[in-house]
Amino acid sequence: MNELLNELRELKGCHVKEHELLANHTTIKIGGPADLFIEPESIESLEAALKLIRKYQVSWRAIGRGSNLLVSDGGIEGVVIKLGNGLDHLVVKDGILTVGAGYPLVSLAMKISRQGLSGLEFASGIPGSVGGAVYMNAGAHGSDISKILTEAHILFEDGTMKWLSNEEMEFSYRTSVLQKKRPGIVLEARFKLVEGEKETIVGVMQKNKDYRKETQPWNYPCAGSIFRNPLPNYAGKLVEEAGLKGYQMGGAQISGMHGNFIVNAGNATAKDVLNLIEHVKQTVFKLYQIEMETEVEIIGRK
């Protein structure tokens, strides 16, 4: 690991830290240290870093803004690559957006709405990055990334890069091919939007934003929706009907606003959250014989 660390430090445009706490980089403010933590300033520096990581056969993981993510208290073995500054470019031409993976999705939706382009209204309250949204096919309010993405620029584990079409991304509910069988890092995305009335678009955006503010606990550190909706049922409704709203284990608490959110009510650990998730699963299954599956991605040392 020391050899890799030294070579990464020599790379131009690549910031490297040792034992960086992931709690500083997740929206739920939980997570142990990464052995190495790097922030590349460009696609080129990311490509060079991944080449070195492959050379030393070290495990790695890419993150964006850290939403929809629960990192274990033991942290992450190997390298964590954070995509942010330097991978947040944006070009708009003829209704086509080419945007870097590190661009905040909320900021993108707001900026584009003011230009009278429609299609991203659903994203007005989703706190992740463009890369993370593409990776998991983020969605809300009846729409998702698969409805607007034309292609995504991917850096694969073997170092090859390719633009994948919407069909090749194999989107389904909160899932893409990158989670299932072709692991890789989203570098850029292209979205096709349509022109509309700016006032109408901004109005829908504000309505969606207000709805989230009124119904979801973003005033507390949280990771977003914890469970996938076991359609035709809804996870939050099942949790609420089971009488679990406000239930707390350690510092982790089921939100009193929304049953599908677990908040960090104060010094929560990943173990607290995992224990609470397990309690919800067991309770809901006992009452309704429905198996709850997590939507939040759980990673790190056991």
Give the dihedral of Cα atoms 92, 95, 100, 102; nearest 10 deg: 110
What is the CB neighbour count within 10 angstroms for residue 238?
Answer: 22
Give CA 24 to chain center in angstroms.
Answer: 15
Give the dihedral of Cα atoms 287, 293, 299, 302; nearest 10 deg: 40
One-character DSSP codes across 189-208: EEEE-EE--HHHHHHHHHHH
Which residues are CB-contacts of 98 (< 8 A; sequence separation ≥ 6)? Answer: 89, 90, 91, 188, 189, 190
| Active-site residue list | 174, 225, 295
Which residue in this structure is represented by tokens 């470019």? 89
Closest C-alpha among 287, 280, 285 to residue 296? 280
